[in-house]
Amino acid sequence: MADLLEIKAARREFVTPEGGRLAALDGVDLSVGANEFVTLLGPSGCGKTTLLRAISGFETLDSGTMRLGGADLTVLPPFRRPVNTVFQSYALFGHMTVARNVGYALEVAGVAKAAREAQVTEALEKVGLSGLGARRPSQLSGGQRQRVALARAIIGKPKLLLLDEPLSALDRNLRQQMQLELKTLQHNLGIAFIFVTHDQEEALTMSDRIVVMRSGKIEQIGTPRDIYRHPRNLFVAEFIGETNLFPVTVDRIDGALALGRTAEGVEMLLPAAGRSKGERVTAILRPADFTLGTTGIAGKITRAVYLGSDLYVFVQPQSGGPEIRVIARDGAGIEEGAAVHLAHDPARVHVLEAA
């Protein structure tokens, strides 16, 4: 996949109220391919929105380079950059109709009325709003207003579309619906999307690649599956989805398997490749990686949370230590205080070197 956007060593500092300096971006390197959906994911203050604003031109880098389609972005003012932004608030003009909101940039640019109306009709059709051009934003649902903002952003056929948490104001059901619609729209348009969110579910659902950020730096870049199954460090492991972490010492190695033991005595089987006896590592298992059965880690159910098709079960190991979180597909025999055993496939264990 050819790189559309190339960012190298991007740095942006701000002066704090105390007179110090804070690096919102600290040497960020990132490439985005044409027709790729890339999500910037991280906690508040990690630098994801600053990076988005730097690409759009609303923030100026202190150092570093940005090139889009081979052209230097840093020398272009925001209105000259071939990118558009969909904001969290949508920023629609309440006194204008949907059609005029969508075509406003073309109107300002002096595009002839007939050509403008044709492009507006096409943009509204692409986002599923055909026939609603005469309405005003106040007459639309939240999801429809979000589509208007998208139509306005794509009408100029930008090379890159930036989306700053555009789904955060929607209720859960509508958010889930729009996640799938956004990914489908991006694929059909053939435009690269950079999406900013702090919601892991959104990132995993829509992205071709996820960029996990913390304190102005990129912690890991990868596909949703890579990020989820093979986190590079403890921060990524804990930030992406629910995670069980087991700090273990390798007690013995038997062929392809190693036995790790926590300080409390919980025993874990893990792949032996690269391991040595006495080594301290962190074994990672997701809640769905455990199976309730008659062998494995002995424990007691402390609570169970009903999630519809699944049960989210908390198990206190008999030997002590933190509770283990498990997703159970079958609710038979699951009740508070019940004795259980947790089995796992060693191949599902991801191992991180001890910090």
Which helix (H) or strand (E) covers residue 42, if one does? none
Taking only the tens place, the pLDDT of each residue in 137-168 is: 999 988 888 889 888 988 888 899 999 988 87
Q: Are residues 164 and 40 in the same domain?
A: yes
Distance from C-alpha of 103 to C-alpha of 308, rounded to nearest angstrom: 44
**CATH for 223:** 3.40.50.300
Domain end point (choices 190, 223, 239)? 239
Give me the amino acid identity at 355: A
Q: In what order do the strands lie in the sheet with 290-293?
A: 290-293, 339-344, 297-306, 311-317, 324-328
Q: What is the pLDDT of residue 141?
A: 86
Q: What is the pLDDT of residue 163?
A: 92
Q: What is the pLDDT of residue 105?
A: 86
Taking only the tens place, the pLDDT of each residue in 72-94 is: 999 999 989 999 988 877 788 88
Distance from C-alpha of 92 to C-alpha of 140, rounded to nearest angstrom: 12
C-alpha closest to that of 163 among 7, 24, 55: 55
Q: Are residues 276 and 233 in the same domain?
A: no
Q: Are residues 349 and 217 in the same domain?
A: no
Q: Are residues 227 and 301 in the same domain?
A: no
C-alpha closest to that of 146 among 174, 173, 122, 120: 174
Q: Are residues 309 and 230 in the same domain?
A: no
- Report the pLDDT averaged over residues 96-102: 92
What separation in angstroms does the CA of 67 have from each of 30, 100, 119, 162, 207? 11, 32, 28, 15, 22
DSSP string, 192-209: EEEEEES-HHHHHHH-SE
Q: Are residues 251 and 330 in the same domain?
A: yes
DSSP string, 134-173: TS-GGGS-HHHHHHHHHHHHHTT--SEEEEESTTTTS-HH
Distance of CA 175 to the CA centre of its chain: 14
Beta pairing class for 311-317 and 324-328: antiparallel
- Residues contacting 15, CB < 8 A, separation 6+: 21, 22
DSSP structural state of residue 323: P
Q: Are residues 232 and 103 in the same domain?
A: yes
Which helix (H) or strand (E) covers residue 286, if one does? none
Contacts of residues 173-180 at CB distance under 8 Å and 24 or more positions apart, as own/partner, are: 174/142, 174/143, 175/202, 176/205, 177/143, 178/143, 178/146, 179/205, 179/206, 180/205, 180/206
Query: What tokens appear for 9 in the block?
Result: 């060593």
Domain end point (choices 209, 239, 269)? 239
Which helix (H) or strand (E) covers residue 332, if one does? none
Where are the strands (E) in 16-80, listed by range? 21-33, 37-41, 63-68, 71-72
* Number of structural domains in the chain: 2
Taking only the tens place, the pLDDT of each residue in 36-74 is: 999 999 999 999 999 999 999 999 999 999 999 999 999
Residue, of 343 and 173, whose pLDDT is higher:
343
Phi, psi dihedral angles at 20 (to 5 degrees): -85, -175
Task: Encode burial over 28-41: b for 16+ CB neighbours within 10 A, e otherwise.
Answer: bebbbeebbbbbbb
- The lowest-confidence range among 188-197, 198-207, 307-316 is 307-316
pLDDT score of 258 more than 60: yes
Q: Are residues 214 and 127 in the same domain?
A: yes
Give me the amino acid identity at 172: R
Q: Domain range holding 52?
A: 3-239
**CATH for 295:** 2.40.50.140
Handedness of CA 289, 291, 295, 298 (dihedral sign): positive
**Across the chain, how many H-helices and E-strands are there?**
8, 20
Share of the chain above pLDDT 70, in %: 98
Q: Are residues 286 and 232 in the same domain?
A: no
Q: Are residues 56 and 134 in the same domain?
A: yes
pLDDT score of 129 more than 70: yes
Domain end point (choices 239, 262, 291)? 239
Q: Are residues 121 and 221 in the same domain?
A: yes
Q: Are residues 223 and 333 in the same domain?
A: no
The model's confidence at residue 332, banded by pLDDT at 50, 70 and 90, is low
